[in-house]
Structure 1
Amino acid sequence: MRRLRHAVLGTDPDLSDPRVLDRVTVGVLAAWIAMGGDLLGSCVYGPDVLGRASGGHRGVLVVAGLATLATLAVLALAYTRMVVHFPHGGGGYTAARHAAGERTALVSGVALVLDAGFNVAVSVVTCVEAAAAVLPAGWAAMRLPAALALVALLAIVNLRGVKESVALLAPILLAFVGSHLLVLGAALAQRAGAIPDAVAAVPGDLSRLAADRGAVGALGTLVRAYAMGGAIYTGLEAVSNGVPILREPKVRSARRTMLLLAGVPALLITVILAGYLAYDVRPSPGVPMNAALFERAAAQLVGGGLAGRLAVAVPLLAEAALLVMAAQTGFVDGPRILGALATDRYMPRRLSRLNGRLAPAAGILVVATVALAATALTGAALEPLIAVFVTSVFVTFSISQWAMLRHALRRRLLHAPWRADAALHALALTLCAVILAGTAARWRAGAAVTLLLVAAAVALALAIRRRYDAVARAAEAAAGQASPPVVPEERQAEVVGAGTLIARDAPVAVLVLGDRVALARVGLAWLARLTAGLGGVILAGATLLDAEAVQGEEHLRARERERRRQLEGLAEQVRRSGLPVAIALRRGADALETTASLVTDLMRRRPAQSMVVGFRSTPDGAAVDPLLRDEDLSVRLQARLQRAGIPMIVLSVPLEA
């Protein structure tokens, strides 16, 4: 199984290398490739949605298009400011947690995870539909299996690590941007005179619309067309969510990435809308407006024949391929938000862990599961997927901007600069609310499904948090009854290698410590029964790389120092029992693999009387316990060590939780 895993996912890096975190951080260009697919994918269907919502009115198309570009700029600037104030990632979830309360943040985080999963589903299904349109009719029946297989393939690619996925997807992005700018740029250069004429006709077109429908009806048409373009902005939050994968200095990298993330799609949308005006492309049933535009542009440039067909086929095939890349954003953002939720104990803690390839494997699998379930339950139908997708996006957009507005107003109380940020986020919140209302009115069923899904996920998260809190309180209570906590002296703990203070030929007890140090304090009360005849105790633990550890080597070293400080308190308690003690820590990604290798090294060449001791809690059963059960490290470690011929004792600590 290990060879198979390495064949599929690649070999694991050396986690002791100080440069290991370079494997999970990327520069500006690679970050744009990893995060920009979703927003670039809006160039495929966004202008088409605007064109159809305008009802063929040139004036509505121009005004709604300009409003859309302005909104894109406002939201991009708002999310850039979010990165400045919250540079450690987490996006709207982190902002809401600090400025709007944990419960509001939880709703935002759940909506972000839902957004990530449905982003993958929408992008993959759209890609499959685009491919089915140019394949023989019999391939249409394979849409659902093809979509499911594509989601699974993308999950495997991301399990190899973000750099691997960027290397595979970079040619798609470059082909998309290059083909669109080349073909449409050359075509517009030949019809440049038609654009000013089309713009000059806007006032007359709007006047005729107002005369036909009245001022209120004309305004309603404009607002509806503007709100229908909500899918264009999906993916703007990617940079604020994914700051941890950016290279230092992260804030500067985030600003430059956001400039590319929003600037390139804005340019492409402008070029496409200008092409609609220059070539008088109007909505036609069953014919994508982009396809009609490229056909007319190719005819203008090279006429018919092979060159004309290539001028149409290459950009359209690049569009279909780009939609696969758009799904990449979900696999970058979703696991990061799940990691933040897990750190706050709203999700199982394993969702914050990285695998041996330094990828958030559990989070990737959750996002893939959401995408697979959504695709299967809808039968790969695009309309219901888009409804839930866009609604969830603007739920989290609105909460994020509300939180940032509150944050700016709090800065006022601190006499810090606040007016510009408050005005920016108030404007962004207003725009998001208008688009959310328009989206909910257009897709009422989708809004209802989104509400139910978010409510169910929030209820599950609250149940998990209550369970974690109850077990933690029970462990602290049991530890307090067993022995008083020991607070180490405020001093730099001496770094002691494993066995340095213990005679080489003396039998030892290796105490394996997980996250719950309180359980170890309970177990130490029984130490005298376990250590008769032993020459010392080694406290063994792992420092795990997780979603927060990728903030940098210095952050990881600070985590290791904090971990050592915790163990020093236990070491002092052991010394009081009259036994020499040492501390052994090892850095790793997987708790079981890291701890097993550490214990195996510690027990090598030790006398047969040596033993390994672990602790496990046995709280009362709860409905969410099956989700948390595999975190019982000691039981799994015992089975692993026994296969290697190393005996281990697991002490069960009963908890009333």
Structure 2
Amino acid sequence: MIKKIKHLLFGAPRNPLSQDTRQHISLIALFAWIGLGADAVSSSAYGPEQTYLALGHYTSFALYIAIMVLLTVFIIALAYNQVIELFPSGGGGYKVASRLIGPYSGLISGVALLLGYVLTISISFASGIDALFSVLPDGLQHYKLITEILLIFAMMYINLRGMKESIKLLMPVFLGFVATHVAVIIYGVMLQRHHLTIATHQTVADTHHLLGSVGWIAMVAILLQSYSLGGGTYTGLEAVSNNVNNLAEPRVRTGKWAMFYIALSLGLIAGGIIFLYFLWDVGPVAGKTLNAVVFEKTLSALPYGHYFLILIMALETCVLFVGANTGFLGGPAVLANMAIDGWVPRRFRTLSSRLVVQNGIVLFGVAAVIIVLMTQGSVSELVILYSTSVFITFTLSLTGLCIYWAKNRTNWKWMVRLPLSIVGFLICASILVTIILSKFMEGGWLILFINGSFIALGIAISYHYKNIKKQVKKLDQLFTFPVATTQEFAPPIDTDLPTAVFFIGDSIGEGMHTVLWAHRMFSDYFKNFIFVSSGVVDVNSYESDKALEQLKRKVDKRLQYFVNYSKQHGIAATSLCSFGTDTVQKLIEMSEEIKIQFKLPIFFSARLVLKNETWFTRQLHNETPITLQRNLHLRGMQMIILPVMLGK
């Protein structure tokens, strides 16, 4: 009954070893543009407003900002095309910093990315609700916060069903947003085409006046501050590079086309909106977003302009929710890569039966709700936190690319890509420094403190895993014995005789320790040995067909070692293995098969026990043996857990 309810809510399990499954969940360029680019494109709902308001009285300089935004979008997009080429298995900014600079740079970039994706969810829903409530009665304003929280949980549920399903569901909204916003921008520019010359002359006049009164340094400072505080406009451009492993083959080509669609749509819409602000000379209105103000002015002459305005703002709200979806897609992917490298608990690398990083999705949803509650859904506060995190990653990624092309000058590509990477680095670094200095007391200090805290936590987790790995390696060396490949005198399996079943994990030392202790405890009682293992299909092994094949060979080789060892000592032995995302479920299924075939089998498993175990270290390890034992006991099967002490 529970399984049926689970399948109804989240969908039927998928076979991770099936080619049809991989093809079904892989994203073509169109779906990647929608699912992974929605965050970037939806930032046009709040990024242009922040940069325009930062101009203060110098709104005529919005013409310069619009041009700068368009150029910046394409420069960053071209830089991340290089990331897609260099790391076709995904990982984006985290892998760039880790592989091209160093592991600790990767940790800094990874933490900033994680926080950036949490804030993607928070700011997208906060800004979306602001846009929606801009056209609703003022009396409903106090429902904004609870609406944001409920919608975050709803989006979390959609993503637990699967990535492609969430994108298909949201595709009409995204395409409607792009179409309506491009249309209203073109219409608004056409209406004000006669004012364009006057507005441009005003910009030139204001430029000469400011240069004459305060000098070019002050003018550059004004433009730089405005340009930097609109840094939220460029957030999300890294999403494709983080998720290349989820793209349809050929991945690199699909990724580059998706990046082109994202850059083109974001550049035209964000730059176009700032240009509309400039032409229509808009100002802030209480209870309304600046987009709502300029669109209302633009559409006021149309017969049904008010209804078209409601449609546009509704689509803007919805596309921000689609943008939040990028946080649920990209964030868990980065978290999984960091789990593989040992910076975060390894449970975050596992996949659910729907082949999504379930633990990561839930974590990001809950974290986003906490951030919304802390900031009360204030977009201006969230943008500072968001932009700082994202531009830490941008800056480190471009630093890595600069180092890579400086070292790899073997063909003509470096002559183009090194200067491009340097320009991108200078842009991102200047934006990052400006945001931190100008908004330090308004949230800049907080995001640096949060980043620093999680970096320290990551170092502590990594130290623990490295220490455990070192001790397990010693255990493997101690308990790995030479084994002959052929055993001519081994007896055959007899299902009527006592049988010991050993659950084998990644460590030969753990398994052999269990086998030797079981043999010592029960002397010559057992006549059959069965070695059982479940190959875990996680983010790392599911990234390609080659990785899956390597996983299969690794598991088969490990099991064959134990079978050969047993036969060498005159004990009948065989092995059984399966592959999937849920280790416990697969082991239970194989145990039930063994129970049917063999009379009264007894199951054995090792469990690592740390000498100085604490609550913190317990959270870093799963309790598979204990969970498995409880499930087997409920099914009338006997299982013994043998401790393996580490840290003596």
TM over 0.5: yes
Amino acid corresponding to residue 174 of structure 2 in structure 1 = L
Change (3 A) 1:78 1:9: same
Amino acid corresponding to residue 517 of structure 1 in structure 2 = I
Answer yes or no: is the 8 Å Cα contact 2:500–2:526 preserved in 1. Answer: yes
> Is 1:349 paired with 2:346?
yes
Report the secondary structure of 1:616's partner residue.
Answer: strand
Answer yes or no: is the 8 Å Cα contact 2:15–2:580 preserved in 1. Answer: no
* Percent identity of paired positions between Structure 1 and Structure 2: 26
Counterpart of 2:214? 213
Whole-Å separation in 2 of the counterparts to 1:186 and 1:500 = 85
Report the secondary structure of 2:300's partner residue.
Answer: helix
Amino acid corresponding to residue 51 of structure 2 in structure 1 = L
Counterpart of 1:521? 512
> Is 1:109 paired with 2:101?
no
Counterpart of 1:578? 570
Counterparts of 1:138-537 in structure 2 under 5 Å? Answer: 138-282=139-283, 287-300=288-301, 302-303=302-303, 307-412=304-409, 417-445=413-441, 446-481=443-478, 483-486=479-482, 502-529=493-520, 530=522, 532-537=524-529
The one-character-per-residue Cα deviations of 1:3-24 (angstroms, maximum 9, x if unpaired) are 3322321221244533222343
Q: Which ranges of structure 1 fall in alignment gaps of 5 or more residues?
A: none
Answer yes or no: is the 8 Å Cα contact 2:537–2:580 preserved in 1. Answer: yes
The one-character-per-residue Cα deviations of 1:48-95 (angstroms, maximum 9, x if unpaired) are 223222335355211122112111111000011011011111111111
Answer yes or no: is the 8 Å Cα contact 2:189–2:279 preserved in 1. Answer: yes
Amino acid corresponding to residue 311 of structure 1 in structure 2 = F
Answer yes or no: is the 8 Å Cα contact 2:484–2:565 preserved in 1. Answer: no
Whole-Å separation in 1 of the counterparts to 2:484 and 2:266 = 56
Amino acid corresponding to residue 435 of structure 2 in structure 1 = T
The one-character-per-residue Cα deviations of 1:97-150 (angstroms, maximum 9, x if unpaired) are 111111111111111101111111111112223333333444322222222211
Change (3 A) 1:396 1:466: same
The one-character-per-residue Cα deviations of 1:376-413 (angstroms, maximum 9, x if unpaired) are 2223333332221111111111111111211222223x
Answer yes or no: is the 8 Å Cα contact 2:134–2:289 preserved in 1. Answer: no
Could you tell me how far 1:555 is from its partner in structure 2? 2.6
> Is 1:540 paired with 2:540?
no
Answer yes or no: is the 8 Å Cα contact 2:491–2:571 preserved in 1. Answer: no
Could you tell me how far 1:207 is from its partner in structure 2? 0.7
Report the secondary structure of 2:606's partner residue.
Answer: strand
Amino acid corresponding to residue 227 of structure 1 in structure 2 = S
Amino acid corresponding to residue 53 of structure 1 in structure 2 = A
Counterpart of 2:593? 601
Deviates more, 1:255-264 or 1:566-575: 566-575
Answer yes or no: is the 8 Å Cα contact 1:509–1:531 preserved in 2. Answer: no
Answer yes or no: is the 8 Å Cα contact 1:486–1:570 preserved in 2. Answer: no
TM-score by length of 1: 0.92
Whole-Å separation in 1 of the counterparts to 2:239 and 2:295 = 30
Whole-Å separation in 2 of the counterparts to 1:470 and 1:257 = 42
Report the secondary structure of 1:604's partner residue.
Answer: helix
Amino acid corresponding to residue 647 of structure 1 in structure 2 = Q
Amino acid corresponding to residue 146 of structure 1 in structure 2 = T
Whole-Å separation in 1 of the counterparts to 2:223 and 2:445 = 25
Whole-Å separation in 2 of the counterparts to 1:176 and 1:587 = 42
Whole-Å separation in 2 of the counterparts to 1:488 and 1:114 = 52
TM-score by length of 2: 0.93
Amino acid corresponding to residue 312 of structure 1 in structure 2 = L
Amino acid corresponding to residue 421 of structure 1 in structure 2 = R
Deviates more, 1:636-645 or 1:469-478: 469-478
Amino acid corresponding to residue 38 of structure 1 in structure 2 = D
Report the secondary structure of 2:604's partner residue.
Answer: strand
Could you tell me how far 1:190 is from its partner in structure 2? 4.2
Counterpart of 2:39? 38
Change (3 A) 1:139 1:485: farther
Change (3 A) 1:141 1:500: farther
Deviates more, 1:78-87 or 1:532-541: 532-541
Answer yes or no: is the 8 Å Cα contact 1:246–1:253 preserved in 2. Answer: yes
Whole-Å separation in 1 of the counterparts to 2:132 and 2:294 = 19
Report the secondary structure of 1:653's partner residue.
Answer: strand
Whole-Å separation in 1 of the counterparts to 2:381 and 2:602 = 58
Whole-Å separation in 2 of the counterparts to 1:641 and 1:593 = 11
Counterpart of 1:131? 132
Report the RMSD for the aligned CA atoms in angstroms: 2.5
Change (3 A) 1:519 1:63: same
Answer yes or no: is the 8 Å Cα contact 1:161–1:359 preserved in 2. Answer: yes
Could you tell me how far 1:362 is from its partner in structure 2? 0.6
Could you tell me how far 1:288 is from its partner in structure 2? 3.2
Counterpart of 2:625? 634
Answer yes or no: is the 8 Å Cα contact 1:56–1:283 preserved in 2. Answer: no
Whole-Å separation in 2 of the counterparts to 1:90 and 1:485 = 38
Change (3 A) 1:487 1:75: farther
Report the secondary structure of 1:607's partner residue.
Answer: coil
Could you tell me how far 1:311 is from its partner in structure 2? 2.2
Whole-Å separation in 2 of the counterparts to 1:487 and 1:260 = 57
Could you tell me how far 1:606 is from its partner in structure 2? 0.9
Whole-Å separation in 2 of the counterparts to 1:19 and 1:137 = 51
Report the secondary structure of 2:598's partner residue.
Answer: coil
Amino acid corresponding to residue 427 of structure 1 in structure 2 = V
Change (3 A) 1:200 1:230: same
Could you tell me how far 1:553 is from its partner in structure 2? 3.0
Whole-Å separation in 2 of the counterparts to 1:273 and 1:384 = 21
Aligned residues: 642
Whole-Å separation in 2 of the counterparts to 1:370 and 1:49 = 24
Answer yes or no: is the 8 Å Cα contact 2:134–2:292 preserved in 1. Answer: no
Whole-Å separation in 1 of the counterparts to 2:326 and 2:462 = 28
Whole-Å separation in 2 of the counterparts to 1:315 and 1:656 = 62
Could you tell me how far 1:433 is from its partner in structure 2? 0.7
Q: Which ranges of structure 2 fall in alignment gaps of 5 or more residues?
A: none
Report the secondary structure of 1:89's partner residue.
Answer: coil
Whole-Å separation in 2 of the counterparts to 1:466 and 1:278 = 57
Could you tell me how far 1:474 is from its partner in structure 2? 2.3
Whole-Å separation in 2 of the counterparts to 1:488 and 1:421 = 54
Report the secondary structure of 1:351's partner residue.
Answer: helix
Could you tell me how far 1:179 is from its partner in structure 2? 1.4
